Amino acid sequence: MSTQKPTRGQIERTLKQRIQALYLAEIGQRPEQVICQFFDDKLAIVLEKSVTLSEKFLLATQRQELAQEVRSHIDAAIKPKLIQMIEEVTGVAVNTILTATDLNSSISGIIVILSGLPSVRDLESIPKAKRKKKCLKSEKL
């Protein structure tokens, strides 16, 4: 039985589903929407409605700094699990991961710098990867 490489879209969908499950299991808040997009060896992730009830309560009771501190601790605690999951799904090591959350809009952003491109059957569908591939071909000529 031959195993075919996944498409970029399949990896992005798998990441979306796994991230939603991870956040629900670990912090009790499933982001309503998760958007994953590869850009060369980078991965951008947007989580919508990612703020927990506890953070919302702190914001409502004028404890903005404490809510932000709680979010910082949540991001730090979940980061190793995110890295492990991203490496497992993409098959590529994570060099750096950056996270930020706007508590007022309930949107989180995650930027992942990978050690290389994921192995996909439609490499040209990854923005910038296509240009790199063309540049390498023209340099050989």
One-letter identity of residue 118: P
Closest CA to 102 of 66, 71, 80: 71
> Tell me, what's the pLDDT at 58?
94
CB-based contacts of 114: which residues, under 8 Å, 6+ apart?
41, 42, 43, 86, 90, 92, 93, 94, 95
pTM: 0.83
Assign 11 to helix, strand or coil: helix
Cα 84 versus chain centre, distance: 12
Query: For residue 46, which phi and psi values (nearest 5 degrees)?
Result: -120, 130
Reduced 3-state DSSP string for 21-35: HHHHHHHCCCCCEEE
User: What's the CA gap between 134 and 141, in Å, rounded?
Assistant: 11
Query: For residue 65, which phi and psi values (nearest 5 degrees)?
Result: -65, -40
Closest CA to 42 of 8, 69, 10, 66: 8
The tens-digit pLDDT sequence of the chain (141 residues) is: 446 888 888 999 999 999 999 999 999 989 999 999 998 899 999 999 999 999 999 999 999 999 999 999 999 999 999 999 999 999 999 999 999 999 999 999 999 999 988 887 776 767 765 555 544 444 455
Burial readout 3-15 (b: 16 or more C-beta within 10 A, e: otherwise): eeebebeebbebb
User: What's the CA gap between 3 and 64, in Å, rounded?
Assistant: 50
